[in-house]
Chain A
Amino acid sequence: DIQMTQSPSTLSASVGDRVTITCRAIQSISSWLAWYQQKPGKAPKLLIYKASSLENGVPSRFSGSGSGTEFTLTISSLQPDDFATYYCQQYNSYPYTFGQGTKLEIK
């Protein structure tokens, strides 16, 4: 299985801040990486696919980059609705695997 490691596990930030979450794969996954946002009691919501493609309807303050083994999710200017947990997921090879999550908290 391809292990996905996110950092940090918890991130404290303020509205208006620029934040970056990192996701590392134990082996190359090309660009087959997705990012999801999850709020308590809700299903994950797709934000980014193929490392850097923005899902329809997702605000442009979200962006993704990277390829191979290192990827980042950046939120350019945090809004109150962005405080949630974020997961990366590789879909390069089976079984598909997720990171352990990054909880974005209000400072």
Chain B
Amino acid sequence: QVQLQQGGAGLLKPSETLSLTCAIYGGSFSGYFWTWIRQPPGKGPEWLGEITHSGRTKYNPSLKSRVTISIDTSTNQFSLKLSSVTAADTAVYYCARGPPTSSYGSYYYYMDVWGKGTTVTVSS
């Protein structure tokens, strides 16, 4: 049964770079979308972006150019970097797997397996 294990620092100062990893155990890396989602305190989740096994990425425009998702197929890990953090980036960050469905040449996915989450606090 696939499990996602998250790692990374949970306390940051404003202007620093958030860096999180997600390791995949017990399942295939290829054939899925790998995503990052965050959830501010008391709010609904927010999709941050995705990466495929081949390294193709797509990001939420709300994060502008601050977000980077990368993949390391040799270690079955993918990572999130978010630069120039502010208090508004305080949230629980989750990684998740997205099994794709193909329809008329496009791919669609929901998130079926989630990591346990990493609480990230940005405070001076």
A1 to B62, CA, bound (A): 10
Answer whether residue A72 sits at the interface, using C-beta atoms and an 8 A cutoff.
no
Partner among B94, B110, B117 whose Cβ is within 8 Å of the Cβ of A34:
B110
Among A43, A50, A87, A89, the residue within 8 A (CB) of B101 is A50
Closest B residue to A88 using CB positions? B44
**Tally of contacts, chain A with chain B, CB under 8 A:** 52
Q: CB-CB < 8 A to A46: which residues of B?
A: 110-112
Q: How many residues of B contact A (CB 8 A)?
A: 21
Q: Within 8 Å of chain A (Cβ to Cβ): is B32?
A: no
**Interface contact B115-A97, CB-CB below 8 Å:** no
Closest B residue, CB atoms, query A4? B44
Cβ of B25 under 8 Å from chain A? no
* Chain B, Cβ-Cβ closest to A6: B44
Closest 7 CB pairs of A and B: A34-B110, A43-B114, A96-B47, A95-B60, A49-B110, A98-B44, A98-B45
